[in-house]
Amino acid sequence: MIYLRSLLFTAVMVGSLLVYAPLTLLTFPLSFRRRYGVARYWARFVLWWLRQTCGLDYSVDGSEHLPQGTAIVFAKHQSAWETLALQEIFPPQTWILKRELLWIPLFGWALALMEPIAIDRKAGRKALQQVIDQGRRLLEDGRWVIVFPEGTRLPPGARKRYGIGGAMLAERTGFPVVPVAHNAGEHWPRRSWLKFPGTIRLVIGPTIETKGLSAIQINAAAEAWIESTMASISNVPPTAPEARPAAESSP
């Protein structure tokens, strides 16, 4: 049944994307808030369909930690699930992501309307400066910025050293950081179309006030909370963090 349910979920998700992405493209004359509001409905539909077909739901702990103003989210990255769920859990947002995603027909074009910080990971300091400059503008405009500090999706238990880009953005702007841990990869594995029933646990940590802290201190505080929380909610024991490739070391 897991195979059949997962196949049904994937077929409808892809089919809905082929319908919804062109509709999202038609919103280009509208303001960001209206474009984002329209695009968010697709994420909401996919999460609903995931519950109906695969019996996969989620719970959120720590919502009381959310600050009143705009913030930067440092989140664990294990699957495609969190790219959908974070849209439901947090206020209007944008993401730091690799620019190649914008080249995907329909999906990437619709994603571009959400004004992400799309970086070339090989650009080094130039990419880092792009994160700081664009991130500052977006934060001051009232948008939350989503950062996956490990830079890529990792299987449960795996770790990579946290990149400096999100922490540098926090240091330069003074906006707070909200750490997020979850175990989505145990139910929606990366590089797999199978979805396993259950409840994904997502935990929001206490806000890290970044004013007066260095990027290294910000990263250390976020990593310590995220990884210790992962150890408590994951069924897979953690491994030692992998070194990040030189091309990914800055952002």
**In DSSP terms, which residues pair with 75 in a beta bridge?**
180
Looking at residue 175, its amino acid is: F
Identify the pLDDT of residue 246. Answer: 44
| Number of Cβ within a 10 Å radius of residue 51 | 13
How far apart are the C-alpha atoms of 122 and 106, rounded to whole Å?
25
Task: Give the number of residues written for the chain.
Answer: 251
Q: What pTM value is reported for the model?
A: 0.91
- Both tokens of 68, joined, read 């009143």
Helix H or strand E encompassing 24: helix 2-25
CB-based contact 56:198 (threshold 8 Å) = yes
DSSP per-residue letters across 211-244: TT--HHHHHHHHHHHHHHHHHHH-SS---PPBPP
Identify the pLDDT of residue 247. Answer: 44
**In DSSP terms, which residues pair with 61 in a beta bridge?**
203
Q: Which residues contact 15 (CB under 8 A, 6 or more apart)?
A: none
Identify the pLDDT of residue 123. Answer: 82
Identify the pLDDT of residue 241. Answer: 65
- Both tokens of 33, joined, read 């808030």
Helix H or strand E encompassing 156: none
pLDDT per residue as tens, the chain (251 positions): 999 999 999 999 999 999 999 999 999 999 999 999 998 999 999 999 999 999 999 999 999 999 999 999 999 999 999 999 999 999 999 999 999 999 999 899 999 999 999 999 888 889 999 999 999 999 999 999 999 999 899 999 999 999 999 999 999 999 999 999 999 999 999 989 999 999 999 999 999 999 999 999 999 999 999 999 999 999 877 765 665 544 444 46
Looking at residue 33, its amino acid is: R
β-pairing, 177-182 vs 198-204, is antiparallel
**In DSSP terms, which residues pair with 147 in a beta bridge?**
74
How far apart are the C-alpha atoms of 13 and 26, rounded to whole Å?
20
How far apart are the C-alpha atoms of 102 and 16, rounded to whole Å?
19
Q: What is the DSSP letter of 149?
A: T
CB-based contact 84:16 (threshold 8 Å) = no
- Both tokens of 30, joined, read 């509208």
